[in-house]
Structure 1
């Protein structure tokens, strides 16, 4: 179950090992904690705000719930992506562990950056959009790096042709591109418009995903018909 180097240092834990299970149980727990910490950004309204729904939302609770909902969905997507990546691992190595730790470091920062974009008093500050956009973009790129580190270490159970990996990475870039594009929008047009740009992912995401799926299917079909050229493609 455990492969070691000549010096006795562990460098690969197979999927069936206890160490593999412990590592990803820890990672799952961190994602769960990050989701839970989002609720800290919701301040309990004053008693007078509970008279009716309009006064309750006007107290700032509505803005905070919106920020909570957006970040909850974002972290949930990160967790699902991590789950999908890990499902393709045959083993784990120190490098893949380190890459995952870097990725979750950015994920656990999301509750902090959410505080800025969900505070009604900071709604017009471009810096809040900047910090949030940079946080999400860094988390996306760090999580993408997990896959490429795993490929480099040879722990993917069914590696795709390299061209297919490139297509998947291009698809992944749609999220940081949209979030990073919102930064100049925040400074030039306004923070509300910057946040509206995030909604573009509702359209761009599925379109990019379908394009990537078609491209990868063609690449896999080509690799299957020309097995000798699989690694080259």
Structure 2
């Protein structure tokens, strides 16, 4: 009976339990599978295209490899964020598992949306940029939601002050803001300009990250100082 109760719905799994490890291993495998599926979008060139590099890349391979590279980095970043978040868990709850399923569902869709921006026949369509941008943005929002579910379920080992969480969330928003902004740009100026908009993250991302890190450190220091004063 005790064993059945331990497996009842709503059960939380401690970090050192087999169930916790199985949950983490499953989601890691989903990310690995999603990143592996990206290679499906690369069509093997015809034998005649292998005569020289110019012919090889003009066959559409260059566009396919660019889409592969972009999405490889994107999925790797999503996995890294997920890994860092789970590293802060002391237990895992059903709510967190459900939220993680939703987040990984959008990640698994990335190979599909990558096809639109990498296939030579569709890469110039603004809709391809829009679908990819929405896909990535929803994945970001879903991962953020998983964090807030984890905080609500009190599974975090060392939760930050709520103000610090707000700062971290604002930092996270830089990615969907840039991707979603690329949609009207793609429709107004072309798909290439929409894709080039994503390059802004190389600059905006680190700047936003440094601002968030300094702001969070200040908030944590203020909270600690307030606790010392009240003590």
- Classify the TM-score, shorter chain: over 0.9
Match of 2:125 in 1: 125
- Match of residue 11 from structure 1: 11
Matches of 1:80 and 1:180, distance apart in 2: 22
> Cα deviation per residue 1:108-128 (whole Å; 9 max; x = unaligned)?
000000000001111221110
**1:70 alignment counterpart:** 70
Partner of 1:159: 159
> 1:35-46 counterparts in 2 under 5 A?
35-46=35-46
Match of 1:199 in 2: 199
Contact 1:3-1:13 within 8 A present in 2 as well: no
> Alignment partner of 1:209: what SS?
helix
**Aligned CA distance change for structure 1 residues 51 and 77 (closer, same or farther; 3 Å):** same
Q: Which runs of 4+ in 1 moved over 4 A?
A: 2-8
Which SS does the other structure have where 1:117 is aligned? Answer: helix
Distance 1:106 1:136 in 2: 8
- Is the aligned partner of 1:56 residue 2:56? yes
State the alpha-carbon separation in 1 of the partners of residues 4 and 192 from structure 2: 54
1:134 corresponds to: 134
Q: 1:192 to 1:54 in 2, by over 3 A?
A: same
1:144 counterpart residue number: 144
Distance across 2 between alignment mates of 1:4 and 1:126: 53
Counterpart residue number, 1:109: 109
* 5+ long unaligned stretches in structure 1: none
Q: What is the TM-score when the length of structure 2 is the normalising length?
A: 0.95
- Contact 1:89 / 1:157 at 8 angstroms: preserved in 2? yes
SS of the residue 1:48 aligns to:
helix
SS of aligned partner of 1:226: helix
Separation of aligned partners in 2, 1:5 and 1:219 = 42
Unaligned regions of 5+ residues in structure 2, if any? none
TM superposition shift of 1:9: 3.8
Once the two structures are superposed, what CA deviation does each residue of 1:21-59 show, in whole Å capped at 9, x if it has no partner? 000100000000000000000000000100111110110
Q: TM-score, normalised by structure 1?
A: 0.94
Q: Give yes or no for contact 1:88–1:156 (8 Å, CA) kept in 2.
A: yes
> 3-state SS of the aligned residue for 2:157?
coil
In 1, the alpha carbon distance for the partners of 2:218 and 2:173 equals 21
Native 8 Å contact 1:103 1:142 kept in 2: yes
Q: Residues of 2 paired with 1:6 and 1:136: CA distance?
A: 37
Task: Give 2:212's aligned residue.
Answer: 212
